[in-house]
Chain A
Amino acid sequence: MSVPATEQAAPATSDAPLLSLRGIQKSFGAVHVLRGVDLDVRPGQVTALVGDNGAGKSTLIKGIAGIHAFDEGEYTFEGQPVKVSGPKDAADLGIEVVYQDLALCDNLDVVDNMFLGREVGSKFRLDDTAMELRARETLDGLSVRTLKSVRTHVSALSGGQRQTVAIARAVLWNSKVVILDEPTAALGVAQTEQVLLLVRRLADRGLGVVLISHNLNDVFEVADDIAVLYLGQLVAQVRRDEVTRGEVVELITTGKSEKNGGES
């Protein structure tokens, strides 16, 4: 089964970026990690962020998520310049990150995990029914068919199901941008397909999706846009259908390609 390349929303929405970075700089002491990164995340599109180890992918998403602020550069969200100086600022804007280790509590069930830290109901009387209904609604909205019961403990779930729960948690709060860090890294073939299908569905719902991946198969299967980081610089952000796999590999490894060599 392959992921249908649905791009029906592309022409109408691709003009105005949801999240836009210009000239981002970030150093850790003497190490200059990000050197003038420009990135656009458009609604309804999957933007793949690729690059070799140490290219600055993690630093970039941590900056977007407010875990450590950028030193310099413009950060605009929905056309407005914003200042994101903590994870809460990013969450308030509607930016959610699904980290590679997922951060789920094995001893709690799916509903409890999805609402962890943001429980519904009064502090002294949780509304478990409302939470369960909303969790199911969200999972149904994403057409998740792999979870038997939302009251299953996470310890009993497979890797793909855990990834599904983590992604569903990220979209539960009407988020606008979801950043996924290597969502398929630890998954088998069938589960990878399920997760990629889910990633596509997020975009089809109008969210801006940033997909970090080392796997070019995944990238070419699901992404609309490919942004390549090379040694702290965004050397290219191109439409998937305008590049070949070989060109992307070349960009990742050398920072330039014959076709896009001039861009930076």
Chain B
Amino acid sequence: MSTSTTPPEEQNTIGSLTSAYLAKIRGGDVGSLPAVLGLVVLVVAFSLLRPDTFTTPLNLAGLIGQSAGVMVLAMGLIFVLLLGEIDLSAGYTGGVAAAMVGVVMSNHGWSWPLSLLVGLLTGAFIGVLIGLAVAKVGIPSFVVTLAAFLGLQGVILKIIGEGGTIGYRNEFVLKLNNGSLPLWAGWALAVIVIVGYGGVSLLTLLSRRKQNLAAQPMLLWAIKTGALAIAVIAFTAFLSQERSPNPTLKSLKGVPNVVVVIAVLVVVLGYLLTRTSWGRHVYAVGGNAEAARRAGINVPWLKVSCFITCSTLAAVAGILIASRDNSVSPATGGQQTLLFAVGAAVIGGTSLFGGKGRITDAVIGGLVIAVINNGMGLLNQPAATVYMVTGAVLLFAAAVDAISRRRAAATGRV
């Protein structure tokens, strides 16, 4: 077959689409499939075991709020994981940023936009320091961020004071990860997501067709858009139900506010990674740093910029966690937060070896981790079991990554 012939229109039946997809998976390109399947299995299992507590709008909304911080942290980590680096300090970076927000907002009475800006800049600043140590000094990121992991715990204690907490009192910041959208806004968001995804992918498809380039079949587009529409509508409808245990006292319904934050981040960061030259260079450096350097890419600066992105998103995550807890404590962003975030990214399909990963991995993987935690809690399992199961799932995900990578290498040379 030559490169100049008209793209084949053969893949236009469900059967041929399925076989093409199966071939792709056999070739080692599993993408987010294990995570999606795992999520479905987990949800079905917990729904059968605890139908009256797990499958309720209240629980789903709570689950989203609990996992939002981990998801956003995982989005940040994807940028450094794509380079084949790691940031072990991202959790505490979020903690320090949240503590700074607490100090200026609650203790000094700054306005919320200014306070949040301080938080983001704190994160970015930490990212600059880590990035310079890794890219310019040449210390392995594992060591740099392990040092930062310890050091930043000290910084939080210094800011907050031992055993202390700083309460968040600002209405807007608290609502970020507690409140819900009005019903109409939730439905508007659903429409924007469906029309936005369907429209953009349709336009791409049509413009590629017009240029006589290989485009995804119309049927595939319809299946994808349809599946997304069903999922989004079901999600919105489910969360639009009354979920307050005591509706007369306080009504609770609608899509949580934090879903907007996550949706915006997915779109913006996804665009950065796939449609800008910076994003392409991130993949290139992760795939072959020497090739990137010879192609004229400033590799050290690119690494620094990825660490800045990671730490800034960690700051967002820290603020979301603090918003959920209504306060910042020295434990904010600590404990298993970071490992859950790394786990979320890897479970979602991001490779620890660099060069492979998407922003949506963070969302899917984050949901898997949250469902395990939440469901095991509802089954009254002790923390010991929850840790062990989560650890096993993470190991499994890393194994899928390693094996699919080997498979891709083996089948790649056709």
> Measuring CB to CB, which residues of chain A are less than 8 angstroms from any residue of chain B?
87-88, 99, 101-108, 112, 116-119, 123-126, 129, 132-133, 136, 139-140, 144-145, 147-151, 153, 155-159
Contact = CB atoms under 8 A, between A and B. Distances in A.
Interface residues of B, number: 36
B213 interface: yes
B2 A117 contact: no
Q: 3 closest pairs, A vs B, by CB? A: A117-B295, A105-B287, A107-B287
Contact of A126 (B3, B211, B280): B280
A136 B4 contact: yes
B276 A125 contact: yes
Contacts of A126: 275-277, 280
A99 B293 CA distance: 13
B409 interface: yes
Given A107-B283, A126-B280, A129-B208, A116 B275 contact: no
B45 to A, nearest CB: 34
Interface in B253-296: 275-278, 280-281, 283-284, 286-288, 290-292, 294-296
Q: Which of A87, A88, A123, A126 has the most CB of B within 10 A?
A: A126
Nearest to A125: B275
B355 interface: yes
A226 to B, nearest CB: 28
A133 B3 CA distance: 10
B207 interface: yes
A156 B407 CA distance: 11
A149 B214 CA distance: 8
A117 B281 CA distance: 8
B108 interface: no
B249 interface: no
Contacts of A118: 295-296
Given A103-B291, A148-B1, A108 B296 contact: no
Contacts of A139: 3
B414 A106 contact: no
Interface of A is mostly: loop
Interface string B354-384: 0110000000000000000000000000000
Nearest to B276: A124
A106 B280 contact: no
Given A125-B276, A144-B3, A158-B413, A105 B288 contact: yes
A140 B4 contact: yes
B413 A107 contact: no
B412 interface: yes
Given A136-B3, A144-B3, A104 B288 contact: yes
B287 A133 contact: no
A180 B211 CA distance: 33
B1 A116 contact: no
A156 B288 contact: no
B297 interface: yes
B121 interface: no
Nearest to B212: A133
Contacts of A102: 291
B408 interface: yes
Nearest to B413: A158
B214 A151 contact: yes
Contacts of B408: 155
B277 A119 contact: yes
A114 B291 CA distance: 11
A106 B291 CA distance: 10
A109 to B, nearest CB: 10
A133 B355 contact: no
Nearest to A110: B3
Interface string B289-327: 011101111000000000000000000000000000000
A156 B284 contact: no
16 contacts: A88-B296, A99-B294, A102-B291, A104-B288, A106-B288, A108-B283, A116-B281, A116-B292, A116-B297, A117-B296, A123-B276, A124-B276, A136-B4, A155-B409, A156-B411, A156-B413
B276 A116 contact: no
Nearest to B293: A103
A80 to B, nearest CB: 24
Interface string B1-35: 11110000000000000000000000100000000
